[in-house]
Amino acid sequence: MKYDVVDTQIAPEGRLEVLSKSEVNKLRDTSQGGLYDIFRNCSLAVLNTGSGMDDGKELLERYRSFDVSIVQRERGIKLDIRGAPASAFVDNQMIKGIHEHLFAVLRDVIFVSDDIHDNPKFNLDSSEGITDAVFHILRNANVLKPLLNPNLVVCWGGHSIPRGEYDYTKKVGYYLGLRGMDICTGCGPGAMKGPMKGATIGHAKQRLHNGRYLGISEPGIIAAEAPNPIVNDLVIMPDIEKRLEAFVRVGHGIVVFPGGAGTAEEILYLLGILLHPDNARLPFPLVFTGPESAADYFKQIDQFIADTLGSEAQRHYKIIINDPEAVAQEMHAGIKKVREFRKEAADAYYYNWTLKIDHEFQKPFAPTHENMRGLSLHKNQESHMLAANLRRAFSGVVAGNVKDQGIRAIEAHGPFEIHGDPAIMAAMDALLSSFVSQHRMKLPGKKYTPCYRIQKT
């Protein structure tokens, strides 16, 4: 099937207007490990905004002829774009928000390559070095706002949710916006778009003209979750672990909407951090919420947490069903406590340095068949370490569902095998099965073929 495409050249507007010859050469490097593929694939994802596609492999195959290259001129650079999805244009002019996002991709890809990976200043084998690297990526993107009181609410949830759940996320965003809260999400559609859309109305009613709608993504997931058009600050982190750390370092509270394996991964990541003894006194408001139709979903999530991490983990969140204003009130009150704590601890409002994140939550995990089989999923370990390994298991399921590399690995070698204690595996099997029966693993209308096989050992 042929798809409408457009060729164009665009120039930056006030950001990253010049590049060195070395940077241009890196962006043209098509060798294995070169920057070209990362830049091309992230750029294509940005241009594919609003398509409804959640399959990274399908996107790359649909637009095989897509190409983006750097044109150097005396007055600065241009992007030469060939075979871009026509939906990114209106009357042959690229939509402004997409234009901005393309140069955000360029900014972050270059900065991570030149200033993080190739910089001996950052020891990416140490916990402190990774946290410092995340800080510098966010600072370079100009999303750390030192003169603002804590007000940034991170919203997690599925990119492919029913209409009723999507409308509910907008209501929560609206009530957060009325209280002057800004929104940060994974930048995609569904539960990542709805809160931002609702907040725009709340901000408008309060005559707040500088509302922040921060989207944080990474190269592996961006093709499946293209940035939604409301995002006015886009940041591309180098991997999922640094993306997750960015969320919890910049956010002052988190609201979780219904989702699938990716949402479960995020929940386990945060609970694992909050369960660390060093974070026992640290306030971090966390609310699970959805309309009445999502009650069974959160009941299943709550049961899984009880069965694997225990009652201590359950004390770190509150479940609120079908009451969007109560969610906003809970978050507003919780963030006041965050402000008081940060002030007392002399910690920055814009970056949560005090939060202890164990190195096991920071090390990049490659979801290969071997690594998935080797996960330590047993109860004979501290609860926050079990959470780290459960997080990796769900990360592998996400990769097998929607990420290009993961999908190709499943096609070549069959489903991932996940081994562990019978009780933990039974809980995981029940949770994943509920996601499948509720159509939370793929876009509605598509038959789901599991990319995993649960093995009780």
Average pLDDT of 310-338?
Answer: 97
Mention the CATH class of domain 5-119.
alpha beta
Euclidean distance between CA atoms 35 and 29, whole angstroms: 6
- Residues near 440 by beta carbon (within 8 Å), at least 6 away in sequence: 158, 160, 161, 258, 259, 260, 297
Euclidean distance between CA atoms 252 and 332, whole angstroms: 10
pLDDT for 14 beyond 70: no
Q: What is the reported pLDDT for 269?
A: 96
Average pLDDT of 111-130?
Answer: 90
Euclidean distance between CA atoms 393 and 416, whole angstroms: 10
Mark 52-90 as b/e (b = at least 16 C-beta within 10 Å): ebbbbbebbebbeebbbbbeeeeeebbbebebbbebbbe
pLDDT for 370 beyond 60: yes
Q: What is the reported pLDDT for 164?
A: 96
| Exposure of 189 in the CB half-sphere (CA atoms within 13 A) | 19
237/24: higher pLDDT:
237
Q: What is the reported pLDDT for 309?
A: 95
String of DSSP letters for 346-393: T--SSS--S----GGGTS-----HHHHHT---SSSS-HHHHHHHHHHH
Residue 154 burial (CB count, 10 A): 24
Average pLDDT of 145-161?
Answer: 93
Residue 246 burial (CB count, 10 A): 24
Model confidence band, residue 342 (pLDDT cutoffs 50, 70, 90): very high
pLDDT for 52 beyond 80: no
Q: What is the reported pLDDT for 57?
A: 73
Which of 399, 374, 400, 403 lies closest to 389 in space, CA to CA?
374
Q: What is the reported pLDDT for 76?
A: 74
Least confident interval from 15-24, 210-219, 260-269: 15-24
SS3 state at 108:
helix
Q: What is the reported pLDDT for 163?
A: 94
pLDDT for 7 beyond 80: yes
262/445: higher pLDDT:
262
Q: Measured at the alpha carbon of residue 158, what is the angle toward residues 273 and 169, in degrees to the nearest 5?
A: 95
pLDDT for 19 beyond 70: yes
The predicted-structure confidence for 278-323, as pLDDT tens digits, reads as follows 999 999 999 999 999 999 999 999 999 999 999 999 999 999 999 9
Which of 216, 35, 15, 220 lies closest to 109 in space, CA to CA?
35
pLDDT for 434 beyond 60: yes
Average pLDDT of 73-93?
Answer: 87
Indicate the fold that domain 121-457 takes in CATH.
Rossmann fold (3.40.50)
Average pLDDT of 432-446?
Answer: 78
The residues facing 417 across adjacent strands are 453
Q: In what order do the strands lie in the sheet with 5-10?
A: 5-10, 76-85, 67-73
Q: What is the reported pLDDT for 138?
A: 97
Q: What is the reported pLDDT for 18?
A: 67
Name the residue ranges covered by the structural domains of the chain. Answer: 5-119, 121-457
The residues facing 183 across adjacent strands are 153, 213
Average pLDDT of 180-192?
Answer: 95
Amino acid making up residue 10 = I
The answer to whether residues 417 and 429 touch, using CB atoms and an 8 Å cutoff, is no
Which of 184, 237, 364, 306 lies closest to 317 in space, CA to CA?
306
Euclidean distance between CA atoms 45 and 221, whole angstroms: 9
The residues facing 25 across adjacent strands are none
* Model pTM above 0.85: yes
Q: What is the reported pLDDT for 17?
A: 63
